[in-house]
Chains A and B, each alone.
Chain A
Amino acid sequence: MVSVTKLAHVGFRAQNLSTQAEFYNDRWGLDRIDEHGGEMFFRADGPDHHVLTLHSAESPGLHHFALEVASAEELDRAADELAARGLNIVMPPTAGLEPGVAKAMRFCDPEGNLVELISGVDTVSDAYGFRDVKPVGLNHVVLEANDRVALESFYRDVLGFRLTDQLADFMTFFRCNANHHSLAFIKTPNGQPGFNHAAFEIRNWEEWMKAVFYAGERGIPRVWGPGRHLAGNNLFSYYRDPENNTIEYTAEVEQITAPDYVPKLRNPPIADQWKTVGQSGPGGGRA
């Protein structure tokens, strides 16, 4: 089994690269750190070289997400194991895939999502520029699945993720470190598997509340929140970027440190402890 240690970054296809870059740099609070060809790289106010990538493309949507493994050797071993399991290796381990990453490979998961495995992420120690809103990292990515159980099995059995939490029979939360969930899965509402949303973390509730304020002042359309989830106990507020990707500001995500932690099953599956009335979640579910 491959042992993923971290969710590293998320990549979006950008139909209009400059509009999307303007949005993430000037309004969402990230900082463009590099670009080459039709690709751009954005850091958060944390050590990682980048937490978001944009890729010039014909249509918007998820390009890939990246998971970190402990070492270059682990990455090579992962490539062998994934190939042996019959997965589609889109790019074998290479040193030249992107700036800030020592070694990377790409494959397709069982539902066709492009997944990157990486090792050796550069840390950036430059001071972060002045921003009213400063996400500190990428916290989680949620996928919509045709066959949720099969997709979960893949991430659990092949990549080492562990179940943390479950909302009734429609959403599951998986972790690869102390963070309550780095990936979560819901059944697709429309038969189209793929991306549901990506969450960017804010340092604490006060910074998060400020982020909600500035997102409003900047006219970023809000689709749900602010509120507090039951699973993960995290604060949430969901938005749409200019190309309609759903993105979240989150904070205070539960950290699982007990070695004997037992996954929770939430029934009734309360989505928002703040009792917002009549607002629906990004997956279409009622709060």
Chain B
Amino acid sequence: MVQVTRLAHVGLQANNLSTQAEFYNDRWGLERVDEFGNEMFFRADGPDHHVLTLTEGHDAGLHHVALQVPSVEDIDRAYEELLARGVEIVTPPTTELEPGVKRALRLKDPDGFLVELVAGVETISDPFKDDEIKPTALNHVVLNVRDQAQSEAFYQEALGFKLTDRFVGGLSFWACNANHHSLAFGQARDGTPAFHHAAFELRDWEEWIKAVFYAGERGIPRAWGPGRHLFGNNLFSYYKDPEGNTVEYTAEVEQITDPSRQPRVMEPYADTWRTAR
């Protein structure tokens, strides 16, 4: 089994690359670090070379999700193993896929979502720009899938994710390290797989509530929140980017360090802050 150790970055396809770049750089609080061809790379106020990529393309939405494995050798091992499982490989192991990443490959998951495995992510020590909102990392990505059980089995068996919590008839939350969930899956209501949202982390609740304030002042449409989730205990506030992708500011996500902890299964209970929706 391939053992994913981290969610590395999320890639969005941008119908209008310059509008999206302006949004993520000037309003969402990320910083553009590189660009080549039709791709742009954005870092957060953390060590990773990038946490978001934008790829120019016709339709807005998810381009890919990147998951990190411990070493460049793991990329090659993963390649053999995924081939043996019959997984569709889009890009075999390469050193040339993107800046800031030593070795990577791309595959398709059961829904056709493009998943990238990366190893050797460059760290950046340059000081981050001055901004009122400074996300420190990408925290999680949520996908609506055609067959929830099938997707769960794939990420569990092929990539080493573990179930942390599950809402009956709702989202299931999956971890690849202490972080409560790096991926979550929900059943697509109309059977069409789709990107649900990506969450960017703020340092603490004070930075997070400041982000809620400045997002308001910057006219970023808020879809839900601020509030606090039951599963993961994280603070949340959801927004729409200019192309309709849902993005979240989160903080205080539960870190699971007890190896004997068992997954909880509960009726959906989204917001302990009791916001009307």
Contact = CB atoms under 8 A, between A and B. Distances in A.
Given A216-B273, A219-B274, A222-B274, A277 B223 contact: yes
A248 to B, nearest CB: 14
Given A209-B212, A226-B216, A219 B272 contact: yes
B217 interface: yes
Interface residues of A, number: 25
Interface stretch (A147-155, A163-171, A268-276): A268-276
Nearest to B276: A223
A210 interface: yes
A277 B221 contact: yes
A277 B222 contact: yes
A229 to B, nearest CB: 12
Contact of B216 (A213, A217, A274): A274
Contact of A222 (B210, B212, B275): B275
Contact of A217 (B217, B222, B228): B228
A226 B212 contact: yes
B209 A276 contact: no
B220 A275 contact: yes
B148 to A, nearest CB: 26
Contacts of B216: 226-228, 273-274
B222 A219 contact: no
Interface residues of B, number: 23
A209 to B, nearest CB: 5
A223 B274 CA distance: 9
Among A205, A213, A217, A278, chain B packs the most CB atoms within 10 A around the CB of A213
A255 interface: no
A176 interface: no
A241 to B, nearest CB: 13
B228 A275 contact: no
B209 A210 contact: yes
B119 to A, nearest CB: 39
Among B216, B220, B240, B272, chain A packs the most CB atoms within 10 A around the CB of B216
A230 B155 CA distance: 47
Contacts of B275: 216, 221-222
A199 interface: no
A279 interface: yes
B226 interface: yes
Contacts of B240: 277
Given A209-B209, A276-B222, A224 B217 contact: no
Interface of B: 205-206, 209-210, 212-213, 216-217, 219-223, 226-228, 240, 272-277
Given A222-B275, A279-B277, 4 more contacts: A213-B209, A222-B273, A222-B274, A277-B223
9 contacts: A205-B213, A216-B275, A217-B273, A219-B273, A219-B274, A220-B274, A228-B217, A277-B223, A278-B223
List 4 tightest A-B contacts by C-beta distance, closest first. A274-B216, A216-B273, A275-B221, A221-B274
